[in-house]
Amino acid sequence: MKLNRPYSLLEISTLLSCEFVGEENHIVAGINEIHMVEIGDIVFVDHPKYYEKALQSAATTIIIDKIVPCPPGKALLIMDQPFDGFNFLTNYFSPIEEPKEDNQAFIHPSAIIYPNVYIGNKVKIGKNCRIYSGVSLMDKTEIGENVIIGANTVIGHNAFYYKKKAASYERMHTCGFVKIASDVEIGALCTIDAGVTGVTTIGKGTKIDNQVHIGHDTKVGENCLFAAGVGIAGCATIMNNVILWGQVGCASNIVVGEAAVVLAQSGIAKSLEGGKTYFGSPCAEAKEKFREMVALRQLPKFMNDL
């Protein structure tokens, strides 16, 4: 998320009522979680295991719970609870907006919007789209041209991202959105979550069946095909021309290579090379998995022969 203007380190530290390490006129231009950071962004870190990752990321300002050596050109904001500081800033710069009569949405005159569709603030809908009854398009959702969205689908709901506290979980404030390119078709009862601070994207020409879930900040490429029941966790990258058959589950922070095919009910636990067919849970190349299944069928005979 980019800020409405550049802020100085001193201004941000004043908002957070915290100490800082660095030049007081050091520039802060955006706020992003670690998977999305760019130069000028703030990120937070609250565990020594991840200090180095945050300090060496593209982020130039780090909210951290301990004073550590600060890399050149960067700055630190020192807080006991960095997550709380990060959440304060995202809420401050991008607060939840209540539904408005003048919601600044743009709907192309050629788009067909069925009854009982909810359209949030600053939504954009391109020409020749067809949005069926019961669809919810949450704030800032962007939809290209010739897009079809089936009944009761929800686009842009809050990211499923929580911090474990002593007696509960606290949700990270969602200030990202969803961007759907042209010629995409999305079935009924699907859910596509907004990015936490960035954008969840669906590439041009991708076709999505009913009851598919796509998590926050996931990038889906062009001309992909997802069958019913597919579930993709947050921050995954699905390259172009990937096929995921029914009930495939995909872990977070992985890459599925271009033109990979994953057969039904498989579980993707780690990144997959493109151009191959996969099966099983955890999945591997289908031919290998089928050989394993044949071998397993021989086990009863093998045991009886002992």
At the topology level, CATH places domain 106-290 in UDP N-Acetylglucosamine Acyltransferase; domain 1 (2.160.10)
Query: Which has the higher per-residue pLDDT, 147 or 101?
Result: 147
Residues forming beta bridges with residue 256, ordered by sequence position = 238, 272
What average pLDDT score do residues 178-189 get?
A: 98
Distance, CA of 45 to chain centre = 19
d(CA 185, CA 187) in angstroms, rounded, equals 7
Which residues partner with 43 through β-bridges?
62
Within the chain, all domains assigned CATH 2.160.10.10 are found at: 106-290
Distance CA 286, CA 297 (A): 17
Contact 185, 102 (CB under 8 A): no
207-226 per-position pLDDT tens digit:
999 999 999 999 999 999 99
pTM of the model: 0.92
pLDDT digit string, tens, across residues 239-271: 999 999 999 999 999 999 999 999 999 999 999
Q: What's the pLDDT score for residue 297?
A: 82
pLDDT tens-digit series, residues 122-181: 999 999 999 999 999 999 999 999 999 999 999 999 999 999 988 899 999 999 999 999
The answer to whether residue 304 scores a pLDDT higher than 80 is no
pLDDT for the residue 166? 86
Taking only the tens place, the pLDDT of each residue in 50-99 is 999 999 999 999 999 999 999 999 999 999 999 999 999 999 999 999 99
Is-cis flag, bond preceding 282, omega within 30?
yes
User: Token digits for 180?
Assistant: 């759907």
Topology, domain 2-93 = 3.40.1390
Residues 26, 173, 213, 216: which is the catalytic one?
216
Which residue spans of the chain are classified as CATH 3.40.1390.10? 2-93
- Both tokens of 227, joined, read 């069958």
Is residue 306 over pLDDT 70? no
Provide the pLDDT for residue 301. 75
216 is catalytic: yes
For residue 27, the one-letter residue type is I
pLDDT for 300? 80
The 41-45 sheet, strands edge to edge: 2-8, 27-31, 41-45, 61-64, 75-78, 19-21
- pLDDT at residue 200, as a whole number: 97
Could you identify the residue written with the tokens 């998590």? 215
Question: CA-CA distance, 173 to 159, in Å (whole number)?
Answer: 8
